[in-house]
Amino acid sequence: MSQSVCILGVTGSIGQSTLKILEQHPEEYSVFAVTAHSRIVELVEICKQYRPKVVVVPAYKVDELQQFLARENLNDIEILQGEAGLIEVASLPEVDVVMAAIVGAAGLLPTLAAVKAGKRVLLANKEALVMSGDLMMQAVHDYKATLLPVDSEHNAIFQCLPEGYFQAERNGQPKMGVSRVLLTASGGPFLNHTLEQLEMVTPAQACKHPKWSMGQKISVDSATLMNKGLELIEACHLFAISEHFVTVVVHPQSIIHSMVQYVDGSTLAQMGNPDMCTPIAHALAWPKRIQTHVPPLDLFTHTHLNFQEPDTTRFPALKLARQAMQAGGLAPAILNAANEIAVAAFLNNQIGFTQIPNIVEATLNQLENNAADSVEVILQADCSARSIAQQLVMS
């Protein structure tokens, strides 16, 4: 029987790649619900092509969407609005699979709702897991949800772990012969820039990633290495290991998407051309495999694979994230919120590139770290961190 899919953040880069895969497999999957925050014209095109039953947009976009849909004779599509709408579609009984591809903290409540409804959740929205770590993983367990990593590195690690790994005890230690996880990083567009050069980089340069085509926020995160910091935290939660067992390896070619080391001296790597359609297809079909348009890797054109240690002097964001994971509690949520504000300010030309980690660090220093024992407490910390980071942007 065909699986019914809800795509949270359908107009984004991951949302679009997800549609590409679904389009290739119309017998296996149907699009039941989609959500978007802006880009209503693109959303209407998606509605014309995929005929979802439900669409979610912010309240102030409902009239505009309604008019567009009426013009296309698509009045039978139900429109829901705002955060309540996102939470509702993520947990609808008709939905089997939820692609969590909203960017940033806005994805937390809908992703958690999908988990609590016991769905198969394909996680692209790493910020949701960074913020709510233990709480989200506990909910996955309690509500018998299936959480599958879409982030290419985590998807690679998932593919390299032994079968049954997720049924083992979650105690911060690698198990079943695993000794270490090697999280690869492309190093972003400024890998070889000096600190002086980093001070001068523009948003346009930061958004031009050498290997991946992605949304603006994650592109800037890749350039500061905060993306790798968020991914380090994401890996600790997904695979139930302490940060001590995760090594970040800069690998500029982005051919190896991450690795798992074993106690017998083996290192398993997952490789492929850098295209998000591969991890999306893997997570959609797991444990089966489905066809994508991604060409097979031609190793004769990739004769050099390089590896180096990350430089946390030029890219302090990675160190801040590791420290936040060590500190635990609300620190990762504070780090994430301050980073979202700082990245938005950089994209808006309000601050320079090297100020991004400074603002994150100053925000972490100003806020008390408590236990992250409820969503309310996490959202409160998110809110406080945003307001402090915003003041720092203005000062």
- Residues belonging to the binding site for NADPH are 11-14, 125, 127, 215
What is the DSSP code (8-state) at residue 58? Answer: -
Cβ nearer to ligand NAD, comparing 7 with 362: 7
Strand partners, 78: 54
Residue 336 interface partner, choices ligand NAD, Mg ion, none, CB cut-off 5-8 Å depending on type: none
Two tokens, residue 29? 């999957």
Cβ nearer to ligand NAD, comparing 10 with 362: 10
Residue 276 interface partner, choices Mg ion, ligand NAD, none, CB cut-off 5-8 Å depending on type: ligand NAD
DSSP labels, 127-191: HHHHHHHHHHHHHHHHTT-EEEE-SHHHHHHHHHSPTTGGGS--SBS--TTEEEEEEEE---TTT
Nearest residue to the partner ligand NAD, using Cβ: 12
Give the whole-angstrom CA distance, residue 307 versus residue 310.
10
**In the complex, which residues of this chain contact ligand NAD (CB under 6 A)?**
9-15, 36-38, 101-103, 106, 124-127, 151, 212, 214-215, 217-218, 276
Asked, as a colleague might, if the bond just before 26 is cis with ω within 30 of 0, I would say no
Min dist CB 389 to Mg ion, Å, is 23
Query: Which three-class secondary structure string do you get for 77-119?
Result: CEEEEHHHHHHHHHCCCCCCEEEECCCCHHHHHHHHHHHHCCC
Cβ nearer to ligand NAD, comparing 219 with 362: 219
* Contact residue for Mg ion among 29, 121, 151, 246 (CB under 5 A): 151
Min dist CB 351 to ligand NAD, Å, is 20
Residue 123 interface partner, choices Mg ion, ligand NAD, none, CB cut-off 5-8 Å depending on type: none
Give the whole-angstrom CA distance, residue 222 versus residue 41.
29
Cβ nearer to ligand NAD, comparing 109 with 334: 109
Min dist CB 83 to ligand NAD, Å, is 8
Cβ nearer to ligand NAD, comparing 234 with 362: 234
Q: Give the per-residue contact string, 276-305, with Mg ion (x = CB under 5 A; - = no).
A: ------------------------------
Query: Segment contacting Mg ion (CB under 5 A): 145-153, 166-174, 240-248, 258-266?
Result: 145-153
Residue 103 interface partner, choices ligand NAD, Mg ion, none, CB cut-off 5-8 Å depending on type: ligand NAD
- Chain Cα centroid distance, residue 135: 17
8 A C-beta contact, residue 293 and residue 24: yes
DSSP labels, 322-340: HHHHHH-TTHHHHHHHHHH
Min dist CB 103 to ligand NAD, Å, is 4
Closest CA to 365 of 312, 320, 318: 320
Min dist CB 197 to ligand NAD, Å, is 25
Cβ nearer to ligand NAD, comparing 103 with 393: 103
Residue 212 interface partner, choices Mg ion, ligand NAD, none, CB cut-off 5-8 Å depending on type: ligand NAD
Residue 125 interface partner, choices ligand NAD, Mg ion, none, CB cut-off 5-8 Å depending on type: ligand NAD
CB atoms within 10 A of CB 43: 26
234 lies in the site for Mg ion, by CB under 5 A? no
Give the whole-angstrom CA distance, residue 33 versus residue 99.
10
Cβ nearer to ligand NAD, comparing 222 with 363: 222
Annotated binding site for 1-deoxy-D-xylulose 5-phosphate: 126, 152-153, 186, 209, 222, 227-228, 231
As to burial, measured by CB atoms within 10 angstroms (0-12 exposed, 13-18 middle, 19+ buried), residue 223 is buried
Min dist CB 280 to ligand NAD, Å, is 9
Residue 340 interface partner, choices Mg ion, ligand NAD, none, CB cut-off 5-8 Å depending on type: none
CB atoms within 10 A of CB 348: 10
Question: Which residues fall within 8 angstroms of residue 346, CB to CB, at 6 or more apart?
Answer: 203, 206, 220, 352, 353, 355, 356
Min dist CB 276 to Mg ion, Å, is 9
Min dist CB 87 to ligand NAD, Å, is 11
Annotated binding site for Mn(2+): 151, 153, 231
CB atoms within 10 A of CB 71: 10
Give the whole-angstrom CA distance, residue 89 versus residue 93.
9
Binding site for Mg ion (CB under 5 A): 151-153
